[in-house]
Chain A
Amino acid sequence: MVAESLLNTGDTAWILMSTALVMLMTLPGLALFYGGMSKKKNVLNTIFLSLSGFAIACIIWIAYGYQFTFGTSIAGLIGIPTNFFLSGIGLDMIHPDTTIPELLYVVFQATFAAITVALISGAIVGRMKAKAWLVFVAVWVTLVYIPIAHWVWGGGWLFELGALDFAGGAVVHLNSGIAALALILVLGKRKDTRLLPHHLGYSVIGAALLWFGWFGFNAGSALGANGLAANALITTNTAAAAAMIGWILIDIWKTGKPTVLGAITGAVAGLVAITPATGFVDVPASIIIGFSTVFVSYFAISYLKPKLGYDDALDAFGVHGLSGTWGAILTGIFACPAINEAAGLLYGNPNQLVIQLISIVAVAAYSFILTYVIAKVLDKVMGIRVDDRTEIEGLDAKEHEELGYRI
């Protein structure tokens, strides 16, 4: 325990604010972003997936998630839990190497666990039983998110190896994107796999709230109100803007017309890609990261998905999995020692790129295998896919007995 006098009110105020911003990313940000893209008959179910994912992850985090993630490491694999339900964490405790309360760090991190699991839901809309989703969230956060967060952020083996992941490129985006892919391989394709958004206006509001909240997600990860936070904020905003322009240009190149869904998809892909790099790279690099990542996600969504035939409904894998991977790779290239004492390939340290690749492969493999097994077991135990009639008539009416629209 560190003395209370080390607490900095400016830092604390900023992380309090950042926590609220990250919460806003899931509810209503992600809920509206996904809700608008889904079919009219599934809008409430889609929003419910984000709502329930957030609530369950937050409770798990308080109960034992934080302890297993940030407790003293056992062989670099998982933390030792010492105080369940945060018992023993007092108001005067300061998080090590920071000037903010331990309790604040706990809740800031809770919002990360919550949005990660909610991101997965974009892939599975329109066909997963609501009750199966609730169980999946609890099991997935426990068995997949917590160990990976420990490896990368909690003093685990990837942390010791020197993997760079400022705000969650591997832990949040690559992890959720790969998990989404594993889950949909077990769930199977929907009968109608067309992406025909029922209300793109919702998605625009959702994407804007994501962008806004991402300032807390990335700049909050500096854990203080300082120059590093400012660098994270400016690189975040710049990458998102560059990525939006990138997708607009691809749209014009491919079809002759810019699209609104393309513009906001580009922005989100840029935000994903800059996330691992945001506290390690300078502003010019953030333009390259943002602009280049849309080519990766666009390729995955418009070529890879139809060719391979997996049904990533709202492109959780295409956007988060692949732009998260791309961002993690480019972090190993563009990490600038002048920003945060870490050098990438461009600054004479090719080893960093190797470490990034190891972290990508490790996180992707663990996330895919565990998620696949969890989904298979749940399918055997309770069945995870809705019946044909529910899928055709809509999950709102059949799974929730509610309708999003009365008229």
Chain B
Amino acid sequence: MKEIRAIIRNERLDAVKDALEKVDCKGITVVDVKGRGEQLGIEENYRGSSYRIDLLSKVKISTVVPDESVEKVVQAISEAAQTGNVGDGKIFITNVEEVIRIRTGERGNDAI
């Protein structure tokens, strides 16, 4: 099992949710986050003074999927979140040791 975490643009969240549903990935956790990438944020200009805003608002989606589903889920997120511009985000994949469904006590892939 793998955990797939994707940091994406706020405005692409709905598209990514739809795309994940289509590849049968239903269970997701979403949090609002702030961060920055290689560009170190953006410039804002108020009353003649420029300020660098180095933490931008993003959305982080997290989901755990069976090993065989990883590629299609990554594919779905990539396509739905992509605008082609700087700041589209990143996807991280990590190993998951165990998953337990609290209601039934099921473990492993059955609990995802």
Interface residues of A (CB under 8 A from B): 194-197, 250-251, 254-255, 257, 259, 261-262, 265, 298, 301-303, 306, 315
B38-55 to A contact mask, C-beta < 8 Å, 1/0: 000000111111110100
Give A303's nearest chain B residue, CB to CB. B48
A262 x B47 contact (CB < 8 A):
yes
Number of A-B pairs whose CB atoms are under 8 Å? 37
Secondary structure dominating the interface of B: strand
| Residues of chain A with a CB closer than 8 A to B45's CB | 251, 255, 257, 259
User: Which of B44, B46, B49, B53 touches A306 (beta carbons < 8 Å)?
Assistant: B49
Complex Cα distance, B51 from A197, in Å, reads 12
B48 x A298 contact (CB < 8 A):
yes
A265 x B47 contact (CB < 8 A):
yes
Complex Cα distance, B49 from A257, in Å, reads 13
A254 x B47 contact (CB < 8 A):
no
| Residues of chain B with a CB closer than 8 A to A302's CB | 47-49
Secondary structure dominating the interface of A: helix
Return B50 CB to nearest CB of chain A, in Å: 8
Complex Cα distance, B46 from A306, in Å, reads 13
7 A-B pairs whose Cβ atoms sit less than 8 Å apart in the complex: A254-B48, A255-B45, A259-B47, A262-B48, A303-B48, A306-B49, A315-B47
A196 x B47 contact (CB < 8 A):
no
User: Which of A194, A196, A301 touches B48 (beta carbons < 8 Å)?
Assistant: A301
| Residues of chain B with a CB closer than 8 A to A196's CB | 44, 46, 51, 53
| Residues of chain B with a CB closer than 8 A to A250's CB | 48
Give B43's nearest chain A residue, CB to CB. A255
Complex Cα distance, B53 from A255, in Å, reads 17
A194 x B47 contact (CB < 8 A):
no
Complex Cα distance, B47 from A251, in Å, reads 8
Complex Cα distance, B49 from A302, in Å, reads 6
Give A297's nearest chain B residue, CB to CB. B47
| Residues of chain A with a CB closer than 8 A to B51's CB | 194-196
Complex Cα distance, B51 from A250, in Å, reads 18
Q: Which of B44, B45, B53 has the most CB of A within 10 A?
A: B45
| Residues of chain A with a CB closer than 8 A to B48's CB | 250-251, 254-255, 262, 298, 301-303
